[in-house]
Chain A
Amino acid sequence: MLVYIVRRVALMVFVLWGVTLAAFVISHALPADPAAAALGNNAREEQLQAFRVRNGLDRPLAVQYGIYMARLAQGDMGASLRTQNPITSDLRQFFPATLELTLGAVVFALVIGLPLGVVAALTQGRWPDLVARTFALLGGATPVYWLAILALNVFHEKLGWLPGPGRLDAYSLPPPVKTGLVTIDSLLVGDREVFVDALRHLILPGLVLGMYSAALLTRMTRSALLEVLSQDYIRTARAKGLTRARVIGQHAMRNASLPILTVLGSLFGSLLTGAVLTETIFSWPGIGGYATTSAISLDFPAVMGVTLIAGLAYSVVNLLVDLLYAFFDPRISFS
């Protein structure tokens, strides 16, 4: 088990190195000058040149990459060209918001997708199944930005049930930053009001972002469970006189959970990086907006940083999923 983890981590480092190389090459492909992007339209030539020298942009690309990697090996991701802040502090600032939103979306996807899938599988061909399948179809086909604007318009503007854009109400000052997750931070200082406010702000963007995943989970759960329910051992279990609930809960779900887990893992990864549109419309200060701004302004170090952290998140989630496999299916072993 431990050997397996070490091997996987070594592989992860190798993959991430590949990611840095690809990101570096791609982000330098645009025929544009990052100094001009950072300093803007009015900047003078001598300012641009000073900026290039100060940030090492005047050196050959290979040298720039070498310097970047040498620094990265020491845990230094360099400084943002646009904000001149260390990338590590930028990521620390923006990543938690995205993580919080993504966790919210995953929770919603599970709460909606799993029960719907189970109900659909058990009522195959009847109306609940039809409802679930319709939802799976619509939820998977609705464009996120359209859903986001609609949700804001209906639930915030028209009905006033839920708050608008942002992570907190404008009138409540955010709690001191500890984890960067507003929900957790507000609990840490025991501020119930802010905690509730943060949760309420999480509902709409979380639902919008989680909608596609919920639809996918519904489909996956339904088909995985149907697959399992037609197996012999289920019939055996039923024949032994076990209640239907126990058969489904203990025997069927346990085996159906593997494909569901796989989907959940890849979903989590794609949600982390796919939150850009949701974040933009809900003015959610996460990594998505940061990545977009950085890409548009040719902020290479920032783009590299975002790419790395996304790659890392993907790898870690994948590893966790593989390890959970063993937990659910004793036949899988890592030795």
Chain B
Amino acid sequence: MKAVLTATLSLALLSTAGAQSSRQSTLVIGGDFSDLITLDPGVSYEFSGSLVTGNLYDTLVAYEGNNLSTLKPRLASSWTVAPTSTGSRLTFKLRDAKFSSGRPVTAADVVYSVNRVINLKTPSSFLYTDVANLKVGSVSAPDAKTVVMDIPKTANPNIVLALLTFNIGGVIDSTEAKAHETNGDFGSAWLKDHSAGSGPFMLNRWDRSAQVALDVNPNAFRRSVNIKRVILRYMLESSAQQSAMNSGEIDVAMNYTPDAFRDVVAAKKLKSQKADSFMLAYLGMNSAKGMPFEDARVREAVRYAIDQDGIISGLLQGLGRKTQTIIPIGLAGSDPKIYYPYDPEKAKALLKAAGKGDGFSVDFFVSTGSCAGGVPCADLAAKVQADLAKVGIKANIKQMVNSELLTAYRAQKAPLVQVSWSPDYPDADGNGTPLADYNAKSLAWRNGWHNADASKLAQSAAIETDAAKRLNIYKQLTALMVKEGPFSILYQPSRPIVIQSNVSGFNQNANGDVQFEKISKK
């Protein structure tokens, strides 16, 4: 026994001779991938899910790199949008492409992939059914290389194209999916942890909570530079990621805390990137009758009282951008203007005008854990509380788990809440409708804020196809919202990315997508 033990221990202490050649062609990314539930592109609705499926599957159209306003061909080499008597018709011509199985990608696969999502009623189905107004049969394949999509007048073809770039638009090898179908699930149980796409990589295996291993897809038309395998390692803690980065065990880390990231930037040993996002961290102010924020002047007072610069430079260490309107920077329709410079005196005057000169107290709902940009929610809330206290508003912090907070917020029961929002698709309407239109029963509704003009503007912007006209409507909407609306935008967070110096081509766009095939390692 003793001999065995000694042998084992001495073995264990010997350094393993890892194959150096494979290190050269393997990219290891450390991050918090705990939100990963499935790798089925039609079902996945989480950040990590999109990140991975974007490299396993191809969509018809796509955004390249950080340009999220120009659609680029992907599986569709060209497309046209034409008005019809009932709405519009989108016609896509497919390029030559092969799935990882070696089968050609055909128009039938595209039709199957769309219908499958509609039939499955997945968390993201509503994008097809409610936003694009598609039904089974809306998409057809006149021949193997042509896909036709008919949408009614109630849907905006530009938004439809934008949401086709999401993982929901990933085209699946229908033969493969049908072969693995159980109880009419369109292969979704199998596709949870297998891949059947034409993307630059294919799934080797997914060890849940441990790692996802992708191998290069030899049949792909998006060729990887020199990376043959990508490993996404679950590392939830910034401290673990820092250890592994400093020891060279991982090539990229995605979840440094703002403080740790600042140190990396200062030390200059490792590369660092601030990746943009479309997320907005904001305060929701309940404006329903009898609620503390019923009077628009009180809401304006809050916007004057919040020291955004202090939050961004202090708490976030620069990992965030300052903006005040409901459309995030980077989407057409965003307004960079600063309407409310930090001005506690003005805030006090507004409170006085609203008859609350002596201040008031309000329950402030805050989540436990981490908030947008990796800052502890409690720290952010403490800063907001201090800012509000300076103008006489006493915010009583009530900390609760996110699910509890969300439940109260959804029930219009949060007087003042600190949350964040990411649009469902990279288009101004992804924020316009939920934040401005009470009838959408989303954020405006949750804050008891009902404004007929805002609803009308949001609805008309959603279906306006003329770009110039649309921008004009958003200009009116953002100006109205920033003055009247129930939100005080805190910041638009950036994502901290830390990269080893021998790795190049890593880029995360505001959607959170990373094209693994563009990355190379020296």
Contact = CB atoms under 8 A, between A and B. Distances in A.
Contacts of A32: 401, 403-404, 406-407
A165 B244 contact: yes
A289 interface: yes
Contacts of B16: 169, 172, 193, 196-197, 200
A196 B208 contact: no
B202 interface: no
Nearest to A82: B37
A283 interface: yes
Contact of A164 (B18, B126, B249, B369): B249
Contact of A174 (B11, B37, B207): B207
A174 B231 CA distance: 12
A33 B12 contact: no
Contacts of A286: 209
Contact of B403 (A33, A161, A167, A172): A33
A283 B17 CA distance: 23
Which residue, of A32, A153, A282, has the highest number of chain B Cβ atoms within 10 A?
A32
B210 A166 contact: yes
Nearest to B239: A149
Contacts of B207: 174, 285
Interface stretch (B75-83, B152-160, B266-274, B416-424): B416-424
Interface in A165-223: 165-167, 169-174, 193, 196-197, 199-200, 203
Contacts of A319: none
A97 B246 CA distance: 26
Contacts of A33: 403, 406-407, 410
B23 A171 contact: yes
Contacts of B441: 44-45
Given A164-B244, A172-B18, A199-B11, A283 B236 contact: yes
B401 A296 contact: yes
A235 B38 CA distance: 67
B234 interface: yes
B138 interface: no
Which residue, of A83, A170, A290, A293, has the highest number of chain B Cβ atoms within 10 A?
A170
A111 B12 CA distance: 16
Contact of B407 (A36, A156, A165, A297): A36
A160 B243 CA distance: 10
A118 interface: no
Nearest to A111: B5
B123 interface: yes
Nearest to B405: A32
Nearest to A37: B403
B301 to A, nearest CB: 27
B462 to A, nearest CB: 15
A250 interface: no
Range class of the B interface residue count: 35 or more
A196 B235 CA distance: 22
A67 interface: no
Range class of the A interface residue count: 35 or more
A283 B240 contact: yes
B28 interface: yes
Contact of A280 (B45, B236, B402, B408): B236
A164 B240 contact: yes
B233 A283 contact: yes
A165 B369 CA distance: 22
A209 to B, nearest CB: 15
A122 interface: no
Contact of A157 (B13, B19, B22, B246): B246
A241 to B, nearest CB: 28
A280 B243 CA distance: 14
A29 to B, nearest CB: 11
Contacts of B363: none
Nearest to B368: A296
A171 B18 contact: yes
B204 A173 contact: yes
B183 interface: no
B213 interface: yes
Interface string A27-44: 000111110110111111
Which residue, of A42, A94, A160, A289, has the highest number of chain B Cβ atoms within 10 A?
A42
Which residue, of B192, B207, B250, B422, has the highest number of chain A Cβ atoms within 10 A?
B207
A163 interface: yes
Contact of B28 (A30, A161, A170): A170
A30 B8 contact: no
Contacts, number: 155
Contacts of A167: 210
B34 interface: yes
Nearest to A293: B34
Contact of A44 (B38, B130, B210, B420): B130
B449 to A, nearest CB: 17
Contacts of B406: 32-33, 36-37, 41
B243 A153 contact: yes
A152 B23 contact: no
Interface in B100-142: 121, 123, 126, 130
A97 B207 CA distance: 11
Interface in B202-240: 204-205, 207-211, 213, 231, 233-237, 239-240
Contact of A39 (B34, B123, B442): B123
A285 B234 contact: yes
Contacts of B424: 42
Nearest to A297: B403
B17 to A, nearest CB: 8
Given A36-B406, A170-B231, A281 B209 contact: no
A83 B402 CA distance: 18
Interface in A73-87: 82-85
Interface string A120-155: 000000000000000000000000000001001100
B247 A156 contact: yes
B14 interface: yes
B478 interface: no
A281 B401 contact: no
A47 interface: yes
Given A33-B410, A171-B18, A200-B12, A281 B247 contact: no
Interface in B384-424: 401-404, 406-408, 410, 419-422, 424
A85 B404 CA distance: 23
Interface string B24-37: 00101000001001
B228 to A, nearest CB: 12
Which residue, of B126, B236, B369, B419, has the highest number of chain A Cβ atoms within 10 A?
B236
A64 B237 CA distance: 36
B240 A281 contact: yes
B403 A171 contact: no
A163 B458 CA distance: 54
Contact of B419 (A41, A111, A283): A41
Contacts of A88: none
Nearest to A203: B12
Contacts of B37: 82-84
Interface in B188-211: 192, 204-205, 207-211
Contacts of A34: 403
Contacts of A297: 403
A156 B249 CA distance: 10
Given A165-B243, A296-B369, 17 more contacts: A30-B403, A32-B401, A32-B407, A33-B406, A40-B123, A50-B121, A83-B37, A170-B211, A170-B233, A193-B16, A196-B11, A196-B12, A196-B14, A199-B8, A283-B235, A289-B34, A290-B209
11 contacts: A36-B410, A37-B407, A42-B434, A85-B192, A169-B18, A171-B22, A199-B12, A200-B16, A286-B209, A296-B403, A297-B403
Which 4 A/B pairs are nearest by Cβ-Cβ distance?
A285-B209, A37-B403, A32-B404, A285-B210
